[in-house]
């Protein structure tokens, strides 16, 4: 007999997006199974930056400090330098984009410290994925690594997925109410569903050379994020991985001229690295060399009935905006509470359409920006990067327009702090600056009331009618209250309804909580 498993959600892919989906579904109490064809998480550094918004999300899971600790070796690596070799560039950093210049650009949107309880974290993806997986294992979540999807069939009421256990060879079927396809840039699911894509597609070819070399003595006190080289002999960029002995050099190569990876044996790669570094006798060990292409591919839709695309499957982008992994994590955090609401019969299925409405434009924007940041040789356009610092650091200054946001009729959409559709404003709640207004949310609906008059009764009525857990925060501290009212442009008798993903769902007046929630949940 073929084994048959049932679950509410199947997550396809155990990379950073899939693992984040697991943690956010678990936070919502949703039953799921994650399958991943590889034995473990990535052994390659890949993404190196966790932006402000994603760190806010990880703060909600209680793993933000674990990630900072995991990335502390990389943390000093900021700035971009250019030159004919690394030694020369460090001695005379012509054209360097410094952390100070980035901070100057940030002044356009005020200080980050005023807008978020978090800051950018440097942590390579091999470390961050391992932390997410370990967190999931500690919670006893259903992670099936080395299990491969063979096929899937979407049906009216479920998705049937045929899976192979790659250890035993056993094949079995999982029946899921919904499926999250976090299966990467070459998504099998996206292709089978026939979802159309836009974007620049693939262009410049590069060879990712991951190597070991002791450069700590050279870079200590002169740390950098990227070194760009563009000479007649070598074009590419060197990325810092741990500021010590792990590095990644992305070499421009030319398959269009007939080149293949076979044309780059280890001895040739080492010679290129010696020239690029400017240290001819340095001991170098090649860990891996993999070809890749700059790619921008944007799915026209992120939902087809019971299947949802997330991360690279929905919006493949170049690494230059630092948004690939971040966008995927933010996708699934947006989706998790909506799936929970529908599966718990708190909301109509139409709520799930707002996932595509809200997240597809955000992913498309960052994917397009990532392509704009690549110059004709495949190097990052560092000057444009400075002008786009606001977007790249990830401060959530965008807003959502969808049926899951209730706004006054004919009100033009704005991104003013506290407006429906924007992320809950950040306000420090104690003198030590350890507790933020974002900490009120943690994956649940929250009403933040400027007064205590009648709001508890409304929340109780909502819980009785819809069986929705909702937290009431009443601002009794006069100092906090006045700051909050100024920050959110709310009056004494008003309140904000915050969604489980930290976004403002509506501005409330007395007596309309029930009707507003009915509208949002389409009940």
Alpha-carbon distance of 16 to 25, in angstroms, equals 14
- What are the backbone dihedrals phi and psi of residue 408, each rounded to the nearest 5 degrees, phi first? -60, 145
Statement: the pTM of the whole predicted model exceeds 0.75: yes
Q: Are 328 and 312 in contact (CB under 8 A)?
A: yes
Residues recorded for the chain: 523
* Confidence at residue 1, expressed as pLDDT on a 0 to 100 scale: 45
- Measured CA to CA, the distance from residue 215 to residue 279 in angstroms comes to 10
The tens digit of pLDDT for each residue in 201-260 reads 999 999 999 999 999 999 999 999 999 999 999 999 999 999 999 999 999 999 999 999
Query: 291-300 pLDDT, tens per residue?
Result: 999 999 999 9
Q: How far from each other are the two terminal CA atoms of the chain, in whole angstroms? A: 41
Residue 504's pLDDT is what?
96
Tell me, what's the pLDDT at 501? 97
Alpha-carbon gap, residue 128 to 126, rounded angstroms: 6
The full set of domains in the chain, from first to last, is 3-73+121-197+296-393 (3.50.50.60), 399-523 (3.40.30.120)
Chain-centroid distance, C-alpha 30 = 21
pLDDT tens, residue order, the chain (523 aa): 458 899 999 999 999 999 999 999 999 999 999 999 999 999 999 899 999 999 999 999 999 999 999 999 999 998 889 999 999 999 886 655 555 555 555 454 445 557 899 989 999 999 999 999 999 999 999 999 999 999 999 999 999 999 999 999 999 999 999 999 999 999 999 999 999 999 999 999 999 999 999 999 999 999 999 999 999 999 999 999 999 999 999 999 999 999 999 999 999 999 999 999 999 999 999 999 999 999 999 999 999 999 999 999 999 999 988 899 999 999 999 999 999 999 999 999 999 999 999 999 999 999 999 999 988 788 888 777 767 666 677 676 788 999 999 987 766 666 677 899 999 999 999 999 999 999 999 999 999 999 888 999 999 999 998 889 899 999 999 999 999 999 999 999 999 999 999 999 999 999 999 999 999 998 7
């Amino acid at each position: 007999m073929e084994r048959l498993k049932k679950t509410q959600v199947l997550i396809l892919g155990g990379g950073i997006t899939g693992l984040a989906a697991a943690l956010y579904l678990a936070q919502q109490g949703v039953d799921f199974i994650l399958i991943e064809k590889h034995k473990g998480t990535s052994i390659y550094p890949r993404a190196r930056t966790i932006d402000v918004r994603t760190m806010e999300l990880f703060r909600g899971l209680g793993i933000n400090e674990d990630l900072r600790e995991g990335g502390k070796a990389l943390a000093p690596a900021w700035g971009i330098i250019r030159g004919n070799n690394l030694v020369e560039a460090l001695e005379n950093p012509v054209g360097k984009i410094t952390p100070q210049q980035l901070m100057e650009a940030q002044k356009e949107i005020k200080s980050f410290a005023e807008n978020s309880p978090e800051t950018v974290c440097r942590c390579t993806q091999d470390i961050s994925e391992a932390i997410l997986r370990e967190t999931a294992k500690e919670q006893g979540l259903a992670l099936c690594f080395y299990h491969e999807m063979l096929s899937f069939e979407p049906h009216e009421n479920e998705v049937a997925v045929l899976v192979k256990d790659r250890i035993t060879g056993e094949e079995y079927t999982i029946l899921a109410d919904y499926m999250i396809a976090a299966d990467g840039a070459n998504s099998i699911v996206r292709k089978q569903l026939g979802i159309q894509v836009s974007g620049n597609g693939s262009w410049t070819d590069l060879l990712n050379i991951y190597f070991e070399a002791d450069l700590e003595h050279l870079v200590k006190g002169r740390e950098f994020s990227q070194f760009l080289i563009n000479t007649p002999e070598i074009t590419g960029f060197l990325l810092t991985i741990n500021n010590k002995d792990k590095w990644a050099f992305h070499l421009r190569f030319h398959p269009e001229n007939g080149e293949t990876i076979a044309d780059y044996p280890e001895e040739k790669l080492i010679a290129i690295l010696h020239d690029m570094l400017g240290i001819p006798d340095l001991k170098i060990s090649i860990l891996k060399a993999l070809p890749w292409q700059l790619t921008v591919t944007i799915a026209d839709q992120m939902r087809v009935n019971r299947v949802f695309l997330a991360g690279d499957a929905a919006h493949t982008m170049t690494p230059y905006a630092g948004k690939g992994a971040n966008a995927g994590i933010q996708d699934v955090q947006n989706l998790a509470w909506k799936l929970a609401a529908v599966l718990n019969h708190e909301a109509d299925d139409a709520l799930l359409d707002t996932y595509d409405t809200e997240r597809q434009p955000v992913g498309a924007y960052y994917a397009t920006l990532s392509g704009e940041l690549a110059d004709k040789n495949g190097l990052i356009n560092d000057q444009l990067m400075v002008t786009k610092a606001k977007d790249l650091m990830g401060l959530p200054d965008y807003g959502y327009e969808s049926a899951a946001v209730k706004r006054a009729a004919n009100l033009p959409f704005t991104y003013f702090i506290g407006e429906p559709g924007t992320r809950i404003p950040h306000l420090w709640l104690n003198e030590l600056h350890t507790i933020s207004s974002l900490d009120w949310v943690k994956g649940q609906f929250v009403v933040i009331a400027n007064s205590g008059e009648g709001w508890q009764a409304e929340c109780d009525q909502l819980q009785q009618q819809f069986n929705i857990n909702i937290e009431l925060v009443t601002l009794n501290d006069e100092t906090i209250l006045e700051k909050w009212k100024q920050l959110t442009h709310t009056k004494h008798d008003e309140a904000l309804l915050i969604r489980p993903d930290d976004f403002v769902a509506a501005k409330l007046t007395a007596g309309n909580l029930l009707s507003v929630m009915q509208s949002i949940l389409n009940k």
